[in-house]
Chain A
Amino acid sequence: MSLVLLIDFGSTYTKVTAVDRKARALLGTAAAYTTVATDINEGLEKALADLQAMLPATVDLKNIQRFACSSAAGGLRMVTSGLVPALTAEAARLASLGAGAKVVKVFSYELTEEDIEEIDSLRPDIFLLTGGTDGGNKACSLHNAAMLARCKSEFPILIAGNRSCAKECEALLAGREIYRCENVMPRMNQLNIEPVQNKIREIFLHKIIRAKGLSQARELISGILMPTPAALMAAMELLAKGTASQEGLGDLMAVDLGGATTDVYSMAQGLPQSEDTVMKGLPEPYAKRTVEGDIGMRYSAGGILAAAGADKLAALSGLSPGEVEELVEYVTSHTDVLPQSPESDPRLGPLDFALAAAAVETAVTRHAGSLEQIYTPMGLSYIQTGKDLRDIKQLVATGGAIIHTENTAAIINRALYSRDNPFSLKPKKVNVFIDRRYILAAMGLLADKDPDCALAIMREELEFHGA
């Protein structure tokens, strides 16, 4: 048997997944609380013991290959800077999100004294410095490099701006831990995010794992460590594109609805569908990830209420607006309450349904592109910003609130394209697949090593939940 163990050190749970590569089969999964405060191995050992108990004695988890990803200890926290907010600053943000980072702050134009103080207090895991196309503006990157040199705290700085002044930036930051790669926007409106993402992953692997106390687990692990969202991204890209011998599902979207944030992934070009539509803004990456920090089922339930409004949540849940407000306050302060448990308030079920539907709708609306009507002397035209996702046919749902319910498809369907908001380019009709056993991050890790096995398992395990 060619066994592989895949580990996801999550912020709350450490999840372990055992796979038999030869049989292309999932042997089992288990989870235990993440123990980052003491020794991360405690949680891991507990999860492994649980998993071992589930497996036949012939399977020995001790001496097999292990791959891991992590979002424990706050995940990969990044701060980025660029020049124009809609251009290099946005390119830097997109690149970091795609690399699985949690982007805690985006700066544009010149950094000020106050900004430097803020960066010091944010203590990012990586700072991404960009600005200017190749041969374009140098002043901003140089100014910002000189300002960053004055930071009191230590953190790796990745330089990915105008190549004409990259060396000068390095000189200004001498003595600090600096890395350099190709410009994230080498020409106007041309995204070049892969070199940045590869470098982020490299820094994550070499530096951050150690800094976060995760290195104790490292000797037990054979290879690759990446942020969990990067693993999810890899899984979704594989599921969409397929391999040489297995077809993928084609363009797809994935929603990860968590307690504090909601992540949305899309694997699609999303180009305009008709000739009278002009595309504006930065080109969109095929594999795109967005994170809504204010949208989540528990810690960020207040953000859902603010975005959707009490009336809408009331209409979705059948509760009164007053009840909605009261219950949202309750779940925000009791983040571990579950509607499934018998002692819970019976109104929690309908509330969670409404929260989930509104959360997915808000997050998907922000992720998807939009159309704007323009009346020109030549007739009606449209301007499209972002991706047109109306033709996406597959949607993968993951995250506790969306998979531990019978209503997943109903939740998703409330969040799709609607005639009430026809200019938001959300999918019209999708097949919903549920990541019932939380295997996506594990399959993303496996995708690097054995894409055929990872894809076969995903196709087997993802549960079709209606259209």
Chain B
Amino acid sequence: MQGKTLILGVIGADVHAVGNKILYHAFRQAGFEVVNLGVMVSQEEFIEAAIETAASVIIVASLYGHGELDCRGMREKCQEAGLADILLYVGGNIVVGKQPFEEVEQRFSEMGFDRVFPPGTLPDAVINALEEDLQP
């Protein structure tokens, strides 16, 4: 996956920084060009970074339970910004409380996310997904 650019960040008012750093190093090691926007990233920042860097994927992390609110409308904004085909991934503790993951995945898929990862996902699972989705 040499040369593919991905945008990474923790969305909304979430300040969980540790997982973000781990993902950054894991993706870099896997050969990706990683633009890490850190914590407290807005939808607009993800999208603007993707435009300037011609990124292939936006990976949204959320740990504090409010991810669903924060991610609403993101696919539509990508479409508006000329990024209709960009891959959107999301993962972490993305909803309030404990909910069956199938339902969560369903809801985020309907919101336009291409991959939804449950709590406790290891970086390798995401890297495998990226390699699969970014096949030429």
Interface residues in A59-73 by Cβ distance below 8 A to B read: none
In the bound complex, residues from chain B placing their C-beta under 8 Å from that of A131 are: 52
Stretch from B21-29, B37-45, B102-110 contacting the other chain: B37-45
Which of A188, A375, A381 lies in contact with B53, CB distance below 8 A? A188
Q: Is the CB of A280 within 8 A of B40?
A: yes
Q: Is the CB of B52 within 8 A of A83?
A: yes
Q: Is the CB of B52 within 8 A of A188?
A: yes
Which of B38, B51, B65 lies in contact with A377, CB distance below 8 A? B65
Contact status of A381 and B52, CB under 8 A, knowing A278-B39, A280-B40: no
Please, how many angstroms separate the alpha-carbon atoms of A114 and B45 in the complex?
29
Which of B13, B14, B35, B54 lies in contact with A132, CB distance below 8 A? B54
Q: Is the CB of A136 within 8 A of B65?
A: no
In the bound complex, residues from chain B placing their C-beta under 8 Å from that of A163 are: none
In the bound complex, residues from chain A placing their C-beta under 8 Å from that of B54 are: 132, 135-138
Is the CB of B115 closer than 8 A to any CB of chain A?
no
In the bound complex, residues from chain B placing their C-beta under 8 Å from that of A377 are: 13, 64-66
Interface residues in B39-94 by Cβ distance below 8 A to A read: 39-40, 45, 48-49, 51-55, 64-66
Q: Is the CB of B52 within 8 A of A376?
A: no
Is the CB of A88 closer than 8 A to any CB of chain B?
yes
In the bound complex, residues from chain A placing their C-beta under 8 Å from that of B39 are: 278
Contact status of A83 and B15, CB under 8 A, knowing A135-B5, A377-B64, A381-B40: no
B36 to chain A, nearest CB (A): 9
- From B66, which residue of chain A is reached at the shortest CB distance? A377
Interface size class of B (residues with CB under 8 A): 20 to 34
Contact status of A188 and B64, CB under 8 A, knowing A138-B54, A278-B40: no
Please, how many angstroms separate the alpha-carbon atoms of A394 and B65 in the complex?
46
Please, how many angstroms separate the alpha-carbon atoms of A138 and B15 in the complex?
33
Is the CB of A3 closer than 8 A to any CB of chain B?
no
Please, how many angstroms separate the alpha-carbon atoms of A112 and B62 in the complex?
39
Please, how many angstroms separate the alpha-carbon atoms of A136 and B45 in the complex?
16
Is the CB of B3 closer than 8 A to any CB of chain A?
yes
Scan A181-202; emit 1 where CB is below 8 A from any B CB, else 0: 0000101110000000000000
Is the CB of A86 closer than 8 A to any CB of chain B?
yes
- From A279, which residue of chain B is reached at the shortest CB distance? B38
Interface residues in B1-20 by Cβ distance below 8 A to A read: 3, 5, 13-15
Pick from B13, B38, B49, B54 the residue with the most CB of A within 10 Å: B54
Please, how many angstroms separate the alpha-carbon atoms of A375 and B15 in the complex?
11
Specify the main secondary structure of chain A where it touches its partner. Answer: loop
B14 to chain A, nearest CB (A): 7
Q: Is the CB of B13 within 8 A of A381?
A: yes
Please, how many angstroms separate the alpha-carbon atoms of A84 and B52 in the complex?
7
Which of A84, A135, A374, A383 lies in contact with B51, CB distance below 8 A? A84
Q: Is the CB of B13 within 8 A of A133?
A: no
Q: Is the CB of A136 within 8 A of B52?
A: yes
Is the CB of A378 closer than 8 A to any CB of chain B?
yes
- From A376, which residue of chain B is reached at the shortest CB distance? B13
Q: Is the CB of A87 within 8 A of B64?
A: no
Is the CB of B114 closer than 8 A to any CB of chain A?
no
- From A89, which residue of chain B is reached at the shortest CB distance? B52
B85 to chain A, nearest CB (A): 14
- From A136, which residue of chain B is reached at the shortest CB distance? B53
- From B45, which residue of chain A is reached at the shortest CB distance? A280
Contacts from B to A (Cβ < 8 Å): 3, 5, 13-15, 33, 35, 37-40, 45, 48-49, 51-55, 64-66
Contacts from A to B (Cβ < 8 Å): 83-84, 86-88, 131-133, 135-138, 185, 187-189, 278, 280, 374-378, 381, 383
* 11 further interface pairs, Cβ-Cβ under 8 Å (given A132-B53, A381-B40): A84-B52, A88-B52, A132-B52, A133-B52, A136-B53, A137-B53, A188-B52, A278-B38, A280-B45, A377-B13, A381-B13
* A-B CB contact pairs (8 Å), 20 listed: A87-B51, A88-B52, A132-B54, A135-B5, A135-B33, A136-B5, A136-B52, A136-B53, A188-B35, A189-B49, A278-B38, A278-B40, A280-B40, A280-B45, A374-B40, A375-B13, A376-B13, A376-B64, A377-B13, A381-B40
